[in-house]
Structure 1
């Protein structure tokens, strides 16, 4: 799935949790971990040896995860340096915390993480400072709206579930709030049937790929609330989402549903950018 994870750090506790999560994910995927601190003119002067907490380094050794770290100089915005070094390191996924030294409240992403999410062509796993990725991932959730963008994210979710021997939960939310008028029974049923087709398509693909435990649900309500509450109620370990879907947001902006789930979910969220050429259906 992924062979090298790049984990940016600013030396904060949130970054330490992200590195811990990267190591745990790497162990399950057979991947390496590369840690980078992007040095700016106003930081405290971290050195390479101090980037990885001792306990996390010991855990990587125990798990047989290759881990290397270095300090690099910023040549422009920090998020651009992160993405450039990810490319240079041959990384195929970025793992980072949603806070860090910005000290921003939970309802807002730290600016570096947000900008990285907006511009990354690689999947980005976001980790809250108080919730590391579970060492034994057992349940993966992928929401779908039936679009090509959601299907692209579903492919990573299916692979993650297969690699970690996890159950895959596939959810579609019918949101009556997006319509100006109250939906008739027949119209609501039509949207529910479309949702059933969307989740069934992903479930079929997962089962074809050998994922043995697949659960589907078509629910009514706000997609953000539905996704976050479902993840909590079903003890989901990781949510996998695309950055577009039917929001119609250009790549410069992160799809509103994905962004709000990243901000509100109590578990790590893997945000998968849509491949070039994928269009909404």
Structure 2
């Protein structure tokens, strides 16, 4: 049924739970698994204008930052048999980037994590809720258990 699964993760320890769920589904359906991590745009945190004001050099290399994130996400994905060429890091809105990546890959299932809190928005979380309502494919929200 599913041939192309996109797994959206943050870089917390709970990501392993989401990757495990995606791996199980990938094994059952013989699906290809890709992983995406979306980070806030680093330029919003390192504006060079502050360097001029403070007298410091806040030069920021977005490509180096992206590569370090790709390496970190690939390291998380590797134990689940996901190759680094199936790992991507994007900057911006998590919902928009995940939905766009899924469309570009021809994804038929998005797997992401969600925390079980109260209320519909908190039940799914704003990211899971946004992806669910904007994706053109199925979405599986894996309830992650926070490490104690």
TM-score using structure 1 length? 0.42
Superposed displacement of residue 151, structure 1? 2.4
Q: Does 1:226 align with 2:92?
A: no
Superposed displacement of residue 190, structure 1? 5.9
- State the alpha-carbon separation in 1 of the partners of residues 83 and 42 from structure 2: 35
What's the secondary structure of 2:16's corresponding residue? Answer: helix
Superposed displacement of residue 194, structure 1? 4.5
- State the alpha-carbon separation in 1 of the partners of residues 59 and 5 from structure 2: 32
Superposed displacement of residue 181, structure 1? 5.5
Q: Does 1:260 align with 2:134?
A: no
* Structure 2 unaligned spans of 5+: 49-57
- State the alpha-carbon separation in 1 of the partners of residues 126 and 64 from structure 2: 24
Q: Does 1:200 align with 2:71?
A: no
- CA gap of 1:243–1:157, structure 2 versus 1, over 3 A, is same
Aligned positions of 1:176-191 closer than 5 A: 176=41, 179=44, 182=47, 186=60, 188-189=62-63, 191=65
The C-alpha deviation readout for 1:144-181, integer Å capped at 9, x for no partner, is 11012332111101111111111101111222189466
Residue equivalent to 2:140: 270
Q: Does 1:145 align with 2:10?
A: yes
Asked if structure 1 preserves the Cα contact closer than 8 Å seen for 2:9 and 2:36, the reply is yes
- CA gap of 1:178–1:213, structure 2 versus 1, over 3 A, is closer
* Structure 1 unaligned spans of 5+: 1-135, 245-249
- State the alpha-carbon separation in 2 of the partners of residues 212 and 189 from structure 1: 20
Asked if structure 1 preserves the Cα contact closer than 8 Å seen for 2:128 and 2:141, the reply is yes
Superposed displacement of residue 143, structure 1? 1.1
RMSD over equivalenced CA pairs, Å: 2.8
Q: Which has the higher helix share?
A: 2
The C-alpha deviation readout for 1:234-274, integer Å capped at 9, x for no partner, is 11010000014xxxxx7221321111101111111000111
TM-score using structure 2 length? 0.75
- State the alpha-carbon separation in 2 of the partners of residues 193 and 214 from structure 1: 12
Superposed displacement of residue 213, structure 1? 10
- CA gap of 1:264–1:148, structure 2 versus 1, over 3 A, is same
Q: How many residues are paired up?
A: 135
Residue equivalent to 2:52: none
What's the secondary structure of 2:25's corresponding residue? Answer: helix
Residue equivalent to 2:26: 161
